[in-house]
Structure 1
Amino acid sequence: MTTQAFENQSKFVLDLRPLGRAAGNHHHVEHVFLIDEPIGLDLISIPAGSPVSIDVELEAVSEGVLVTGLITGPTEGQCVNCLSEIHGSVEASLTELFVYPDSETAVTIQDDDEVYLLDDPTELDLEQAIIDAVGLALPFAPSCSSVEGHPCPEDVDMPEVDGVSGEENNLIDPRWADLEKFQNLAFLNDAATEPTASDTEEPDVPSGDESATASGEKKEG
């Protein structure tokens, strides 16, 4: 096992001279470094200033250098459910081929092909490969359960699906307060002018039999 430090101007650049270009050569690299910029997604990432570890195997192949291994680092973010701050870690797998500029793969690639090129055969820049791998390994919707392994705290005011808490959802927007008054006034006016049940009832009209009976009773009297 060989420990290889980053010797160039970028932390992400590896020296390929110990590997050589002979197909089948191997070179192991382990390193821990501090990143200057966060790596990850909007809601969760490896924050700037954090230590990031790489443990990779470099293999010389005919087309370039095959890199396989792991990238690990601490993460911090925000729970999508309760909006609490969450902390965890990420372990990203890396398997990428960095091709030589004069290789057949480099000559035949299209503009939309995602291929890492070795512009300098003596060094390999892992920056973009690390960014891509970590981004794929992080949860797109981080939560307390997925990152920290426990449910959201019960004492946290859980927002509704639209991002507004239940209490806030019942508040009237002050911009619509005056309109609310007019709506209430209109409702009262409608209620005052609406006919009641007694106004709309038709008077009872006696039937023919009932009328004759009433007349007969009057004569007998």
Structure 2
Amino acid sequence: MSTHNTPTRPDAASPWVFSTRELGRRPGNMRTVARTVPAPDAPEAIGLENVIVVPAGSPVELDLQLESVTEGVYVSGTAAAGLTGECSRCLDALTDTVEVEIAELFAYPDSVTEETTDEDEIPRLVDERIDIEQVVRDAVVLALPLAPLCDPDCLGLCAECGGRRADLGPDHGHETLDPRWTALRERLPSAD
């Protein structure tokens, strides 16, 4: 008998949940599935909040292969989605796409893998169903840039005035005067 807590039962109505019933527990049986699912909303959003995310409700394209193996069901394939965020240099809105590889074993109940690993190490099959939402979320988050850019050559913002350097032109600059010269500047007539 397992010493681990019983995993949460997947919601059969969720588009992220797949039935493995027709695979049985016969190693080598496989099935290919293609499905478009809506991205979840906060707090379960996919991405880095306030940096770059898959917008809630936008399509996530899943192209997966489910294969029965000795210890469970091995899920492999890809997940692709659109992204929205903010450039970390100039703060402009940006859009991008991400495609990630999925490769995850879902352990059978009472298998050696289920008995010898913690639930947070390897996901479990529950009632012959798998929920791949967390697997996709983890893969996407690992693929995202921590500092997304609208363009690799983005110049960012001017530290003095806050204007976009790309819009300010090459001759943009600010006069910086050493504060120690302030008293002398006040005594000299201005050359306007």
TM-score, scaled relative to structure 1 = 0.63
Deviation at 1:90, TM superposition (A): 0.4
Unaligned runs of 5+ residues in structure 2 are: 1-10, 163-178, 184-192
Specify the alignment match of 1:114 in structure 2: 121
Instruction: Tell me if the contact between 2:18 and 2:130 (Cα under 8 Å) persists in the aligned partners.
Output: yes
Equivalent residue of 1:145, what SS? coil
Q: Give the Cα–Cα distance (whole angstroms) in 2 for the partners of residues 80 and 51 of structure 1.
A: 25
Q: Give the Cα–Cα distance (whole angstroms) in 1 for the partners of residues 94 and 69 of structure 2.
A: 42
Question: Is 1:51 the counterpart of 2:59 in the alignment?
Answer: yes
Specify the alignment match of 1:123 in structure 2: 129
Specify the alignment match of 1:76 in structure 2: 84
Deviation at 1:20, TM superposition (A): 2.0
Choose between structure 1 and 2: higher helix proportion: 1
Unaligned runs of 5+ residues in structure 1 are: 1-6, 160-164, 169-183, 189-221
Give the letter aligned to residue 50 of structure 1.
S
Q: What is the aligned-residue identity percentage?
A: 41
TM-score, scaled relative to structure 2 = 0.71
Give the letter aligned to residue 119 of structure 1.
V
1:89-108 map, 5 Å:
89-108=97-116
Instruction: Tell me if the contact between 2:82 and 2:98 (Cα under 8 Å) persists in the aligned partners.
Output: yes
The structure number with the bigger radius of gyration is 1
Aligned length in residues: 151
Runs of 4+ in structure 1 displaced over 3 angstroms?
Answer: none
Deviation at 1:65, TM superposition (A): 0.4
Instruction: Tell me if the contact between 2:40 and 2:46 (Cα under 8 Å) persists in the aligned partners.
Output: no
1:1-221 map, 5 Å:
8-37=12-41, 38-42=45-49, 43-110=51-118, 114-120=121-127, 122-145=128-151, 151-152=153-154, 158=157, 165-167=159-161
Specify the alignment match of 1:216 in structure 2: none
Q: Could you say what the CA RMSD is over the residues aligned between the two structures, in angstroms?
A: 2.3
Q: Give the Cα–Cα distance (whole angstroms) in 1 for the partners of residues 65 and 86 of structure 2.
A: 34
